[in-house]
Structure 1
Amino acid sequence: MLNLIWLKSLIMVIEQRSFQAAAEQLGLAQPTISQHIQKLEETLCVSLIHRVRSGCQPTEYALRLLPYAQSMLRLQDRALLAVNQPSMRIGASSNIGIYLLQPYLQNYRHKQAFINDKLDIVIDSNPVVAEKLENAEIDIALMEWWPGKAGFESQIWKTEALVLITPPDHPLAKLSSISKSILSGLNLLGGESGSGTGRILKNYLQECQHFPTVSMQLGSTEAVKQAVRAGIGISLVFASSVVDEVQHGSLCAIPLEDHALTKDIQLVWRQQSTIQQKQPQFVEYLLSS
Protein backbone atom coordinates (compact mmCIF):
# COMPACT_ATOMS: atom_id res chain seq x y z
CA MET A 1 0.00 0.00 0.00
CA LEU A 2 1.22 3.50 -0.85
CA ASN A 3 1.05 5.76 2.19
CA LEU A 4 -0.40 9.18 1.29
CA ILE A 5 1.80 10.92 3.85
CA TRP A 6 4.89 9.44 2.23
CA LEU A 7 3.63 10.52 -1.20
CA LYS A 8 3.04 14.05 0.04
CA SER A 9 6.62 14.17 1.30
CA LEU A 10 7.90 12.95 -2.07
CA ILE A 11 5.94 15.61 -3.95
CA MET A 12 7.27 18.33 -1.67
CA VAL A 13 10.88 17.15 -2.02
CA ILE A 14 10.52 17.20 -5.81
CA GLU A 15 8.96 20.67 -5.73
CA GLN A 16 11.46 22.15 -3.27
CA ARG A 17 14.48 20.17 -4.53
CA SER A 18 15.55 19.91 -0.89
CA PHE A 19 14.74 17.64 2.06
CA GLN A 20 15.16 20.53 4.49
CA ALA A 21 12.89 22.88 2.52
CA ALA A 22 10.30 20.12 2.14
CA ALA A 23 10.38 19.52 5.89
CA GLU A 24 9.86 23.22 6.59
CA GLN A 25 6.92 23.39 4.18
CA LEU A 26 5.24 20.38 5.79
CA GLY A 27 6.11 21.32 9.36
CA LEU A 28 8.09 18.12 9.92
CA ALA A 29 11.65 17.25 10.88
CA GLN A 30 14.08 16.55 8.05
CA PRO A 31 14.81 12.98 9.30
CA THR A 32 11.05 12.29 9.09
CA ILE A 33 10.98 13.35 5.43
CA SER A 34 14.01 11.17 4.73
CA GLN A 35 12.28 8.26 6.43
CA HIS A 36 9.16 8.74 4.29
CA ILE A 37 11.18 8.66 1.09
CA GLN A 38 13.14 5.63 2.29
CA LYS A 39 9.94 3.74 3.07
CA LEU A 40 8.53 4.58 -0.34
CA GLU A 41 11.71 3.36 -2.02
CA GLU A 42 11.61 0.13 -0.01
CA THR A 43 7.96 -0.42 -0.90
CA LEU A 44 8.53 0.18 -4.62
CA CYS A 45 12.04 -1.35 -4.74
CA VAL A 46 13.36 1.64 -6.71
CA SER A 47 15.40 4.77 -6.06
CA LEU A 48 13.30 7.95 -6.09
CA ILE A 49 15.62 10.84 -5.20
CA HIS A 50 19.22 11.60 -6.19
CA ARG A 51 21.18 13.99 -3.96
CA VAL A 52 23.43 16.19 -6.12
CA ARG A 53 25.31 19.46 -5.57
CA SER A 54 22.50 21.54 -7.05
CA GLY A 55 19.92 19.90 -4.78
CA CYS A 56 17.67 16.86 -4.88
CA GLN A 57 16.75 15.48 -8.28
CA PRO A 58 13.85 13.04 -8.91
CA THR A 59 14.76 9.82 -10.65
CA GLU A 60 12.88 8.53 -13.68
CA TYR A 61 10.84 6.32 -11.33
CA ALA A 62 9.85 9.33 -9.20
CA LEU A 63 8.72 11.25 -12.28
CA ARG A 64 6.60 8.28 -13.34
CA LEU A 65 5.04 8.12 -9.88
CA LEU A 66 4.50 11.87 -9.51
CA PRO A 67 1.20 12.36 -11.45
CA TYR A 68 -0.35 9.36 -9.68
CA ALA A 69 0.75 10.67 -6.29
CA GLN A 70 -0.78 14.06 -7.05
CA SER A 71 -3.99 12.42 -8.24
CA MET A 72 -4.22 10.28 -5.10
CA LEU A 73 -3.86 13.34 -2.87
CA ARG A 74 -6.51 15.21 -4.85
CA LEU A 75 -8.82 12.22 -4.48
CA GLN A 76 -8.21 12.22 -0.73
CA ASP A 77 -9.22 15.89 -0.59
CA ARG A 78 -12.38 15.08 -2.56
CA ALA A 79 -13.23 12.21 -0.22
CA LEU A 80 -12.85 14.42 2.86
CA LEU A 81 -14.98 17.14 1.29
CA ALA A 82 -17.66 14.63 0.33
CA VAL A 83 -17.98 13.66 3.99
CA ASN A 84 -17.59 17.05 5.66
CA GLN A 85 -18.71 19.60 3.05
CA PRO A 86 -20.97 17.85 0.52
CA SER A 87 -20.95 19.36 -2.96
CA MET A 88 -21.80 18.23 -6.46
CA ARG A 89 -19.07 18.54 -9.09
CA ILE A 90 -20.32 18.70 -12.67
CA GLY A 91 -18.05 18.02 -15.63
CA ALA A 92 -18.96 19.04 -19.17
CA SER A 93 -17.14 18.75 -22.45
CA SER A 94 -16.32 22.16 -23.90
CA ASN A 95 -19.17 22.46 -26.40
CA ILE A 96 -21.77 21.48 -23.83
CA GLY A 97 -20.33 23.57 -21.01
CA ILE A 98 -19.99 26.68 -23.16
CA TYR A 99 -23.03 26.57 -25.45
CA LEU A 100 -25.72 24.43 -23.78
CA LEU A 101 -25.39 24.13 -20.01
CA GLN A 102 -25.23 27.74 -18.79
CA PRO A 103 -28.99 28.60 -18.82
CA TYR A 104 -29.74 25.41 -16.89
CA LEU A 105 -27.11 26.24 -14.29
CA GLN A 106 -28.59 29.70 -13.85
CA ASN A 107 -32.10 28.32 -13.41
CA TYR A 108 -30.84 25.70 -10.96
CA ARG A 109 -29.07 28.41 -8.93
CA HIS A 110 -32.40 30.18 -8.50
CA LYS A 111 -33.71 27.03 -6.85
CA GLN A 112 -30.78 26.75 -4.44
CA ALA A 113 -32.94 27.90 -1.52
CA PHE A 114 -34.79 24.61 -1.84
CA ILE A 115 -31.92 22.39 -2.95
CA ASN A 116 -28.98 21.37 -0.78
CA ASP A 117 -26.49 20.70 -3.57
CA LYS A 118 -23.50 23.03 -3.88
CA LEU A 119 -22.33 22.93 -7.49
CA ASP A 120 -18.80 23.15 -8.87
CA ILE A 121 -18.33 23.12 -12.64
CA VAL A 122 -15.40 21.69 -14.62
CA ILE A 123 -15.25 22.31 -18.39
CA ASP A 124 -12.68 20.38 -20.41
CA SER A 125 -12.30 18.09 -23.40
CA ASN A 126 -14.50 14.99 -23.64
CA PRO A 127 -11.67 12.52 -22.82
CA VAL A 128 -10.57 14.56 -19.79
CA VAL A 129 -14.13 14.80 -18.45
CA ALA A 130 -14.55 11.03 -18.85
CA GLU A 131 -11.27 10.42 -17.01
CA LYS A 132 -12.27 12.75 -14.17
CA LEU A 133 -15.59 10.94 -13.81
CA GLU A 134 -13.89 7.55 -13.57
CA ASN A 135 -11.38 8.93 -11.05
CA ALA A 136 -14.17 10.35 -8.85
CA GLU A 137 -12.94 13.91 -9.43
CA ILE A 138 -16.43 14.80 -10.66
CA ASP A 139 -19.82 13.28 -9.84
CA ILE A 140 -21.86 13.99 -12.97
CA ALA A 141 -20.72 14.42 -16.56
CA LEU A 142 -22.28 15.81 -19.72
CA MET A 143 -20.46 14.44 -22.73
CA GLU A 144 -20.74 14.19 -26.48
CA TRP A 145 -19.54 10.59 -26.38
CA TRP A 146 -19.57 7.99 -23.62
CA PRO A 147 -18.71 4.30 -24.23
CA GLY A 148 -20.71 3.03 -21.25
CA LYS A 149 -18.87 1.49 -18.29
CA ALA A 150 -19.77 -0.58 -15.25
CA GLY A 151 -20.64 1.42 -12.15
CA PHE A 152 -22.19 4.32 -14.07
CA GLU A 153 -25.63 5.17 -15.34
CA SER A 154 -26.33 7.30 -18.39
CA GLN A 155 -29.22 8.82 -20.28
CA ILE A 156 -29.57 10.99 -23.34
CA TRP A 157 -30.13 14.56 -22.15
CA LYS A 158 -30.49 16.33 -25.49
CA THR A 159 -30.02 15.66 -29.17
CA GLU A 160 -28.08 18.40 -30.96
CA ALA A 161 -28.13 19.02 -34.69
CA LEU A 162 -24.81 19.39 -36.49
CA VAL A 163 -24.49 22.01 -39.22
CA LEU A 164 -21.84 22.89 -41.75
CA ILE A 165 -20.44 26.37 -41.13
CA THR A 166 -18.89 28.47 -43.88
CA PRO A 167 -17.96 32.12 -44.46
CA PRO A 168 -20.86 34.10 -46.00
CA ASP A 169 -19.09 34.28 -49.37
CA HIS A 170 -18.37 30.53 -49.63
CA PRO A 171 -20.01 28.72 -52.60
CA LEU A 172 -21.74 26.24 -50.28
CA ALA A 173 -23.34 29.09 -48.29
CA LYS A 174 -25.99 29.40 -51.03
CA LEU A 175 -27.28 25.85 -50.46
CA SER A 176 -30.36 25.20 -48.34
CA SER A 177 -28.93 21.85 -47.18
CA ILE A 178 -25.88 19.62 -47.61
CA SER A 179 -26.34 16.18 -49.15
CA LYS A 180 -24.36 13.08 -48.22
CA SER A 181 -22.55 13.13 -51.56
CA ILE A 182 -21.38 16.72 -51.06
CA LEU A 183 -20.40 16.14 -47.41
CA SER A 184 -18.38 13.02 -48.21
CA GLY A 185 -16.07 14.97 -50.54
CA LEU A 186 -15.36 17.93 -48.27
CA ASN A 187 -12.15 18.96 -46.54
CA LEU A 188 -13.07 19.99 -42.99
CA LEU A 189 -11.45 21.74 -40.04
CA GLY A 190 -11.41 19.57 -36.93
CA GLY A 191 -12.49 20.81 -33.49
CA GLU A 192 -12.30 19.17 -30.09
CA SER A 193 -10.77 15.68 -30.19
CA GLY A 194 -12.53 12.71 -28.62
CA SER A 195 -16.01 14.20 -29.06
CA GLY A 196 -17.33 11.35 -31.21
CA THR A 197 -18.04 13.39 -34.35
CA GLY A 198 -15.83 11.10 -36.42
CA ARG A 199 -17.82 8.05 -35.31
CA ILE A 200 -21.09 9.75 -36.21
CA LEU A 201 -19.77 10.75 -39.64
CA LYS A 202 -18.49 7.24 -40.31
CA ASN A 203 -21.89 5.76 -39.54
CA TYR A 204 -23.75 8.45 -41.49
CA LEU A 205 -21.57 8.08 -44.59
CA GLN A 206 -21.01 4.33 -44.48
CA GLU A 207 -22.62 3.85 -47.91
CA CYS A 208 -20.53 6.58 -49.57
CA GLN A 209 -17.34 5.88 -51.49
CA HIS A 210 -15.49 8.84 -49.99
CA PHE A 211 -15.09 10.28 -46.52
CA PRO A 212 -14.36 13.90 -45.51
CA THR A 213 -10.73 14.71 -44.83
CA VAL A 214 -9.55 16.80 -41.88
CA SER A 215 -6.99 19.40 -42.92
CA MET A 216 -6.34 20.93 -39.50
CA GLN A 217 -7.18 19.96 -35.90
CA LEU A 218 -7.90 23.14 -33.95
CA GLY A 219 -8.92 21.75 -30.57
CA SER A 220 -12.08 23.75 -29.84
CA THR A 221 -15.25 25.04 -31.49
CA GLU A 222 -14.25 28.63 -30.70
CA ALA A 223 -11.00 28.16 -32.62
CA VAL A 224 -12.89 26.52 -35.47
CA LYS A 225 -15.36 29.42 -35.71
CA GLN A 226 -12.54 31.96 -35.87
CA ALA A 227 -10.74 29.92 -38.54
CA VAL A 228 -13.89 29.65 -40.66
CA ARG A 229 -14.55 33.40 -40.32
CA ALA A 230 -10.96 34.01 -41.49
CA GLY A 231 -11.58 31.87 -44.59
CA ILE A 232 -9.21 29.07 -43.60
CA GLY A 233 -11.80 26.33 -44.10
CA ILE A 234 -15.25 24.98 -43.22
CA SER A 235 -16.40 22.66 -40.46
CA LEU A 236 -19.19 20.77 -38.69
CA VAL A 237 -20.34 22.17 -35.34
CA PHE A 238 -23.35 22.22 -33.01
CA ALA A 239 -26.10 24.41 -34.46
CA SER A 240 -26.45 26.00 -31.01
CA SER A 241 -22.79 27.08 -31.02
CA VAL A 242 -23.19 29.52 -33.93
CA VAL A 243 -26.57 31.12 -33.23
CA ASP A 244 -25.06 34.56 -32.59
CA GLU A 245 -22.68 34.43 -35.57
CA VAL A 246 -25.48 33.39 -37.95
CA GLN A 247 -27.73 36.13 -36.58
CA HIS A 248 -25.03 38.75 -37.11
CA GLY A 249 -24.11 37.41 -40.55
CA SER A 250 -20.46 36.55 -39.85
CA LEU A 251 -21.04 32.83 -40.50
CA CYS A 252 -23.48 30.71 -42.47
CA ALA A 253 -24.87 27.48 -40.97
CA ILE A 254 -26.16 24.95 -43.49
CA PRO A 255 -28.14 21.96 -42.16
CA LEU A 256 -27.56 18.45 -43.39
CA GLU A 257 -30.15 17.00 -45.75
CA ASP A 258 -33.27 15.98 -43.77
CA HIS A 259 -31.45 17.27 -40.66
CA ALA A 260 -30.05 13.75 -40.45
CA LEU A 261 -26.74 14.45 -38.71
CA THR A 262 -27.25 14.80 -34.96
CA LYS A 263 -25.35 14.07 -31.79
CA ASP A 264 -26.80 12.72 -28.53
CA ILE A 265 -25.62 14.52 -25.39
CA GLN A 266 -25.00 11.94 -22.70
CA LEU A 267 -25.74 12.65 -19.04
CA VAL A 268 -23.62 10.26 -16.96
CA TRP A 269 -23.44 9.73 -13.20
CA ARG A 270 -22.06 7.24 -10.74
CA GLN A 271 -24.52 4.59 -9.59
CA GLN A 272 -25.95 5.34 -6.16
CA SER A 273 -25.22 2.84 -3.40
CA THR A 274 -28.58 3.46 -1.71
CA ILE A 275 -32.06 2.67 -2.96
CA GLN A 276 -33.59 5.80 -1.41
CA GLN A 277 -32.00 8.16 -3.98
CA LYS A 278 -31.66 6.66 -7.43
CA GLN A 279 -30.51 9.86 -9.15
CA PRO A 280 -28.65 12.95 -7.93
CA GLN A 281 -30.87 16.02 -7.68
CA PHE A 282 -29.07 17.82 -10.49
CA VAL A 283 -29.58 14.82 -12.78
CA GLU A 284 -33.29 14.82 -11.98
CA TYR A 285 -33.44 18.54 -12.67
CA LEU A 286 -31.74 18.26 -16.09
CA LEU A 287 -33.85 15.30 -17.17
CA SER A 288 -37.06 17.08 -16.22
CA SER A 289 -36.10 20.42 -17.81
Structure 2
Amino acid sequence: MRNATIRQLQIFSVAASHLSFARAAEKLHLTHAAISLQIKQLEDVSGTLLFERIGKRVFLTEAGEILLAHTRQILQSLKEADEALLALKGLKGGRIAVAVASTAEYFAPGLLAEFRKAQADVRLRLLIDNRETVSRLLANNEVDLAIMGRPPADLDAIAIAFAPHPLVIVAGREHPLVGAPGLAVEDLADETLIVREAGSGTRSAMEEFFHEHAIRPRIGMEMASNEAIKQAVVAGLGISFISAHTLGLELAAGRLHVLDVEGTPVMRRWHIVRHKSKHLTPALGAFWEFVIECAPAYLRTLV
Protein backbone atom coordinates (compact mmCIF):
# COMPACT_ATOMS: atom_id res chain seq x y z
CA MET A 1 0.00 0.00 0.00
CA ARG A 2 3.00 2.33 0.22
CA ASN A 3 2.46 3.37 -3.40
CA ALA A 4 -1.16 4.42 -2.84
CA THR A 5 -1.79 8.17 -3.07
CA ILE A 6 -3.75 10.31 -0.64
CA ARG A 7 -6.09 11.29 -3.48
CA GLN A 8 -6.85 7.63 -4.20
CA LEU A 9 -7.63 7.04 -0.53
CA GLN A 10 -9.89 10.11 -0.42
CA ILE A 11 -11.83 8.92 -3.47
CA PHE A 12 -12.04 5.38 -2.11
CA SER A 13 -13.37 6.66 1.24
CA VAL A 14 -16.20 8.61 -0.39
CA ALA A 15 -17.10 5.80 -2.80
CA ALA A 16 -17.07 3.25 0.04
CA SER A 17 -19.17 5.44 2.33
CA HIS A 18 -21.91 5.81 -0.29
CA LEU A 19 -21.39 2.44 -2.02
CA SER A 20 -21.83 4.32 -5.26
CA PHE A 21 -19.29 5.57 -7.80
CA ALA A 22 -21.92 7.94 -9.18
CA ARG A 23 -22.48 9.57 -5.77
CA ALA A 24 -18.72 9.81 -5.26
CA ALA A 25 -18.35 11.52 -8.62
CA GLU A 26 -21.10 13.97 -7.71
CA LYS A 27 -19.65 14.83 -4.29
CA LEU A 28 -16.06 15.16 -5.55
CA HIS A 29 -17.00 16.95 -8.80
CA LEU A 30 -15.30 14.30 -10.91
CA THR A 31 -16.49 12.13 -13.76
CA HIS A 32 -17.65 8.58 -13.17
CA ALA A 33 -14.76 7.41 -15.35
CA ALA A 34 -12.24 9.27 -13.18
CA ILE A 35 -13.60 7.62 -10.05
CA SER A 36 -13.46 4.17 -11.65
CA LEU A 37 -9.87 4.75 -12.83
CA GLN A 38 -8.64 5.82 -9.39
CA ILE A 39 -10.34 2.84 -7.70
CA LYS A 40 -8.85 0.47 -10.32
CA GLN A 41 -5.38 1.90 -9.69
CA LEU A 42 -5.85 1.49 -5.93
CA GLU A 43 -6.94 -2.12 -6.45
CA ASP A 44 -3.81 -2.71 -8.56
CA VAL A 45 -1.66 -1.25 -5.77
CA SER A 46 -3.37 -3.35 -3.09
CA GLY A 47 -3.45 -6.47 -5.24
CA THR A 48 -7.08 -7.23 -4.44
CA LEU A 49 -10.63 -6.28 -5.34
CA LEU A 50 -12.11 -3.61 -3.08
CA PHE A 51 -15.67 -3.59 -4.49
CA GLU A 52 -17.95 -6.22 -5.92
CA ARG A 53 -21.14 -5.71 -7.91
CA ILE A 54 -24.13 -7.97 -7.24
CA GLY A 55 -27.01 -7.18 -9.53
CA LYS A 56 -27.31 -3.40 -9.60
CA ARG A 57 -25.79 -2.90 -6.14
CA VAL A 58 -22.18 -2.29 -5.13
CA PHE A 59 -20.70 -3.85 -1.97
CA LEU A 60 -17.33 -3.66 -0.24
CA THR A 61 -15.30 -6.84 -0.25
CA GLU A 62 -13.68 -7.99 2.98
CA ALA A 63 -10.46 -6.35 1.79
CA GLY A 64 -12.40 -3.16 1.05
CA GLU A 65 -13.83 -3.06 4.57
CA ILE A 66 -10.37 -3.49 6.09
CA LEU A 67 -8.88 -0.79 3.87
CA LEU A 68 -11.77 1.59 4.61
CA ALA A 69 -11.13 1.41 8.36
CA HIS A 70 -7.43 2.20 7.85
CA THR A 71 -8.19 4.88 5.27
CA ARG A 72 -10.41 6.77 7.68
CA GLN A 73 -7.68 6.65 10.31
CA ILE A 74 -5.12 7.93 7.81
CA LEU A 75 -7.28 10.81 6.59
CA GLN A 76 -8.22 11.77 10.14
CA SER A 77 -4.56 11.72 11.19
CA LEU A 78 -3.64 14.00 8.29
CA LYS A 79 -6.40 16.41 9.25
CA GLU A 80 -5.27 16.45 12.89
CA ALA A 81 -1.67 16.97 11.80
CA ASP A 82 -2.76 19.96 9.76
CA GLU A 83 -4.64 21.42 12.72
CA ALA A 84 -1.73 20.79 15.09
CA LEU A 85 0.73 22.49 12.75
CA LEU A 86 -1.56 25.50 12.46
CA ALA A 87 -1.76 25.70 16.25
CA LEU A 88 2.04 25.32 16.54
CA LYS A 89 2.50 28.26 14.18
CA GLY A 90 0.31 30.37 16.42
CA LEU A 91 -2.52 30.60 13.91
CA LYS A 92 -6.10 30.90 15.08
CA GLY A 93 -7.49 29.05 12.11
CA GLY A 94 -8.71 25.52 11.66
CA ARG A 95 -11.53 23.62 10.01
CA ILE A 96 -14.73 22.29 11.56
CA ALA A 97 -17.37 20.14 9.86
CA VAL A 98 -20.67 20.29 11.75
CA ALA A 99 -23.73 18.16 10.99
CA VAL A 100 -27.07 19.26 12.41
CA ALA A 101 -30.43 17.56 12.53
CA SER A 102 -32.77 19.33 10.12
CA THR A 103 -34.87 20.81 12.92
CA ALA A 104 -31.75 22.62 14.16
CA GLU A 105 -31.32 24.38 10.81
CA TYR A 106 -33.44 27.23 12.20
CA PHE A 107 -30.79 28.19 14.75
CA ALA A 108 -27.54 26.51 13.70
CA PRO A 109 -26.50 29.08 11.05
CA GLY A 110 -27.04 31.93 13.51
CA LEU A 111 -25.12 30.06 16.18
CA LEU A 112 -22.21 29.51 13.80
CA ALA A 113 -22.29 33.19 12.87
CA GLU A 114 -21.96 34.11 16.56
CA PHE A 115 -18.98 31.77 16.86
CA ARG A 116 -17.32 33.33 13.82
CA LYS A 117 -17.45 36.75 15.49
CA ALA A 118 -14.94 35.46 18.02
CA GLN A 119 -13.08 33.03 15.72
CA ALA A 120 -13.11 34.71 12.34
CA ASP A 121 -10.29 32.56 10.92
CA VAL A 122 -11.97 29.21 11.55
CA ARG A 123 -13.43 27.63 8.42
CA LEU A 124 -16.83 26.07 9.01
CA ARG A 125 -18.74 23.49 6.97
CA LEU A 126 -22.39 22.88 7.83
CA LEU A 127 -24.36 19.81 6.77
CA ILE A 128 -28.10 19.53 7.44
CA ASP A 129 -30.04 16.27 7.31
CA ASN A 130 -32.35 14.08 9.35
CA ARG A 131 -31.27 12.36 12.54
CA GLU A 132 -30.56 9.04 10.87
CA THR A 133 -28.15 10.57 8.34
CA VAL A 134 -26.47 12.80 10.93
CA SER A 135 -25.81 9.69 13.03
CA ARG A 136 -24.25 7.96 10.02
CA LEU A 137 -22.03 10.96 9.28
CA LEU A 138 -20.74 10.87 12.86
CA ALA A 139 -20.17 7.12 12.81
CA ASN A 140 -18.25 7.33 9.52
CA ASN A 141 -16.14 10.26 10.75
CA GLU A 142 -17.41 12.40 7.86
CA VAL A 143 -18.06 15.27 10.28
CA ASP A 144 -16.29 16.41 13.44
CA LEU A 145 -19.38 16.82 15.61
CA ALA A 146 -23.12 17.13 15.46
CA ILE A 147 -25.96 19.10 16.99
CA MET A 148 -29.05 16.96 17.39
CA GLY A 149 -31.80 15.95 19.76
CA ARG A 150 -31.36 12.44 21.13
CA PRO A 151 -27.79 11.14 20.60
CA PRO A 152 -27.49 7.86 18.65
CA ALA A 153 -27.67 4.96 21.09
CA ASP A 154 -25.49 2.67 18.98
CA LEU A 155 -22.55 5.09 18.67
CA ASP A 156 -19.62 5.24 21.08
CA ALA A 157 -20.00 8.98 21.53
CA ILE A 158 -19.59 11.84 23.95
CA ALA A 159 -22.79 13.90 24.17
CA ILE A 160 -23.50 17.00 26.24
CA ALA A 161 -27.02 18.39 26.65
CA PHE A 162 -26.80 22.16 26.25
CA ALA A 163 -30.35 23.52 25.97
CA PRO A 164 -34.04 22.58 26.32
CA HIS A 165 -35.87 21.58 23.15
CA PRO A 166 -39.65 22.09 23.41
CA LEU A 167 -41.95 20.28 20.95
CA VAL A 168 -45.51 21.54 20.50
CA ILE A 169 -48.67 20.90 18.52
CA VAL A 170 -49.65 23.65 16.09
CA ALA A 171 -52.63 24.52 13.93
CA GLY A 172 -53.50 27.20 11.40
CA ARG A 173 -55.27 30.35 12.53
CA GLU A 174 -58.70 29.16 11.28
CA HIS A 175 -58.58 25.78 13.01
CA PRO A 176 -61.50 25.27 15.45
CA LEU A 177 -59.19 24.09 18.26
CA VAL A 178 -57.18 27.33 18.28
CA GLY A 179 -57.76 29.10 21.58
CA ALA A 180 -59.50 26.15 23.21
CA PRO A 181 -58.17 25.72 26.77
CA GLY A 182 -57.04 22.46 28.34
CA LEU A 183 -57.32 20.12 25.36
CA ALA A 184 -56.92 16.41 26.10
CA VAL A 185 -54.79 14.31 23.80
CA GLU A 186 -57.95 12.38 22.97
CA ASP A 187 -59.34 15.57 21.41
CA LEU A 188 -56.75 15.15 18.65
CA ALA A 189 -57.69 11.57 17.78
CA ASP A 190 -59.71 12.58 14.72
CA GLU A 191 -57.37 15.34 13.57
CA THR A 192 -55.20 14.89 10.48
CA LEU A 193 -51.51 15.12 11.35
CA ILE A 194 -48.79 16.31 9.02
CA VAL A 195 -45.57 14.68 10.19
CA ARG A 196 -41.86 14.31 9.50
CA GLU A 197 -40.49 11.28 7.70
CA ALA A 198 -39.31 8.10 9.43
CA GLY A 199 -35.76 8.60 10.69
CA SER A 200 -36.49 12.09 11.96
CA GLY A 201 -36.06 12.82 15.67
CA THR A 202 -39.26 14.87 15.67
CA ARG A 203 -41.16 11.91 14.21
CA SER A 204 -39.82 9.60 16.93
CA ALA A 205 -40.79 12.07 19.67
CA MET A 206 -44.30 12.40 18.21
CA GLU A 207 -44.79 8.64 18.08
CA GLU A 208 -43.63 8.30 21.69
CA PHE A 209 -45.99 11.07 22.81
CA PHE A 210 -49.10 9.52 21.27
CA HIS A 211 -48.09 5.99 22.30
CA GLU A 212 -47.82 7.13 25.94
CA HIS A 213 -51.43 8.35 25.71
CA ALA A 214 -52.62 5.19 23.91
CA ILE A 215 -53.66 7.23 20.87
CA ARG A 216 -52.97 6.16 17.30
CA PRO A 217 -52.40 9.42 15.37
CA ARG A 218 -54.22 9.87 12.11
CA ILE A 219 -51.34 10.66 9.74
CA GLY A 220 -52.41 12.45 6.59
CA MET A 221 -49.05 13.46 5.11
CA GLU A 222 -45.35 12.81 5.59
CA MET A 223 -42.87 15.52 4.66
CA ALA A 224 -39.07 15.72 4.91
CA SER A 225 -39.06 19.47 5.54
CA ASN A 226 -40.21 21.44 8.57
CA GLU A 227 -40.83 24.39 6.28
CA ALA A 228 -43.16 22.37 4.06
CA ILE A 229 -45.01 21.08 7.13
CA LYS A 230 -45.56 24.60 8.44
CA GLN A 231 -46.92 25.80 5.12
CA ALA A 232 -49.27 22.81 4.92
CA VAL A 233 -50.59 23.57 8.42
CA VAL A 234 -51.02 27.27 7.53
CA ALA A 235 -53.03 26.15 4.47
CA GLY A 236 -55.39 24.18 6.72
CA LEU A 237 -54.37 20.68 5.64
CA GLY A 238 -53.96 19.46 9.22
CA ILE A 239 -52.14 20.00 12.49
CA SER A 240 -48.56 19.07 13.35
CA PHE A 241 -46.24 18.05 16.16
CA ILE A 242 -43.17 20.21 15.66
CA SER A 243 -40.21 21.89 17.36
CA ALA A 244 -40.98 25.26 18.91
CA HIS A 245 -37.59 26.42 17.63
CA THR A 246 -38.89 26.30 14.05
CA LEU A 247 -41.92 28.56 14.61
CA GLY A 248 -40.69 32.08 15.35
CA LEU A 249 -41.84 33.90 12.21
CA GLU A 250 -45.16 32.08 11.83
CA LEU A 251 -46.14 32.58 15.48
CA ALA A 252 -45.20 36.26 15.39
CA ALA A 253 -47.31 36.75 12.26
CA GLY A 254 -50.27 34.83 13.72
CA ARG A 255 -50.22 32.31 10.88
CA LEU A 256 -49.70 29.40 13.28
CA HIS A 257 -50.94 28.88 16.83
CA VAL A 258 -49.72 26.50 19.53
CA LEU A 259 -52.58 24.34 20.81
CA ASP A 260 -53.06 24.03 24.57
CA VAL A 261 -52.79 20.25 24.79
CA GLU A 262 -52.16 18.32 28.02
CA GLY A 263 -48.61 17.04 28.29
CA THR A 264 -47.21 19.69 25.96
CA PRO A 265 -44.78 21.13 25.33
CA VAL A 266 -42.93 17.84 25.22
CA MET A 267 -39.50 18.69 26.55
CA ARG A 268 -36.43 17.17 24.97
CA ARG A 269 -32.82 18.41 25.02
CA TRP A 270 -30.44 19.59 22.34
CA HIS A 271 -27.09 17.82 22.43
CA ILE A 272 -23.67 18.45 20.99
CA VAL A 273 -22.14 15.10 20.05
CA ARG A 274 -18.77 13.81 18.92
CA HIS A 275 -17.29 10.37 18.49
CA LYS A 276 -15.44 9.25 21.60
CA SER A 277 -12.20 8.84 19.65
CA LYS A 278 -12.43 12.29 18.04
CA HIS A 279 -9.42 14.40 18.94
CA LEU A 280 -10.31 17.95 19.94
CA THR A 281 -8.15 20.31 17.92
CA PRO A 282 -7.93 23.92 19.16
CA ALA A 283 -10.68 24.96 16.74
CA LEU A 284 -12.96 22.04 17.68
CA GLY A 285 -12.37 22.59 21.37
CA ALA A 286 -13.24 26.28 21.06
CA PHE A 287 -16.48 25.48 19.20
CA TRP A 288 -17.43 22.71 21.64
CA GLU A 289 -17.08 25.07 24.62
CA PHE A 290 -18.84 27.88 22.77
CA VAL A 291 -21.95 25.77 22.11
CA ILE A 292 -22.15 24.54 25.71
CA GLU A 293 -21.68 28.01 27.22
CA CYS A 294 -23.40 30.34 24.73
CA ALA A 295 -26.06 28.35 22.84
CA PRO A 296 -28.62 28.26 25.71
CA ALA A 297 -28.90 32.06 25.82
CA TYR A 298 -29.04 32.24 22.03
CA LEU A 299 -31.86 29.69 21.83
CA ARG A 300 -33.89 31.55 24.46
CA THR A 301 -34.20 34.42 22.00
CA LEU A 302 -36.00 32.15 19.51
CA VAL A 303 -39.05 31.12 21.59
Structure 1 position 229 matched with structure 2 position 234: yes
Letter paired with 2:118: K
Match 2:158 to one of 153, 167, 178: 153
- The one of 33, 37, 62 aligned to 1:16: 33
Query: 1:166–1:62: structure 2 CA closer, same or farther, 3 Å change rule?
Result: closer
- Checking the alignment, whether the CA contact within 8 Å between 1:179 and 1:256 is kept in structure 2 is yes
Q: Output one character per residue of 1:250-277: Cα deviation in whole Å (capped at 9) or x when no partner.
A: 2222243364422222221223677999
Deviation at 1:15, TM superposition (A): 1.7
Amino acid at match of 1:235: S
Aligned residue pair count: 263
Q: 1:281 to 1:45 in 2, by over 3 A?
A: closer
> 2-side partners of 1:249 and 1:286: how far apart?
31
Task: Among all aligned residue pairs of Structure 1 and Structure 2, give the percentage whose two residues are the same amino acid.
Answer: 24
Aligned equivalents of 1:273 and 1:143: distance in 2? 17
| Cross-structure match for 1:167 | 172
Deviation of the 1:45 alpha carbon:
9.3
In structure 1, how many angstroms separate the alpha carbons of the residues matched to 2:129 and 2:179?
A: 35
Match of 2:141 in 1: 136
Greater Cα radius of gyration, structure 1 or 2: 1
- State the AA in 2 paired with 1:174: G
Listed as ranges, the gaps of 5+ residues in structure 2 are 16-20, 84-93, 295-303
Q: Which residue of 2 aligns with 1:83?
A: 81
Q: Within 5 A, what are the aligned runs for 1:9-48? A: 15-16=32-33, 22=37, 37=43, 43-44=48-49
Task: Output the aligned Cα RMSD.
Answer: 4.2
1:191 to 180, 189, 196: 196
CA contact (8 A) 2:139 2:155 kept: no
| 1:94 aligned onto 2:94 | no
Q: Distance in 2 between matches of 1:255 and 1:229?
A: 17
| Match runs of 1:263-282 below 5 Å | 263-271=268-276, 280-282=285-287
For the 8 Å contact 1:192–1:221, the answer to whether it is kept is no
Relative to the length of structure 1, the TM-score reads 0.72
Residues of 2 paired with 1:124 and 1:18: CA distance? Answer: 25
Relative to the length of structure 2, the TM-score reads 0.69
Kept after mapping to 2: 8 A contact 1:159/1:264: yes
Question: How far did residue 108 of structure 1 move?
Answer: 1.0
1:216 aligns with 2:214: no
Residue identity matched to 1:107? E
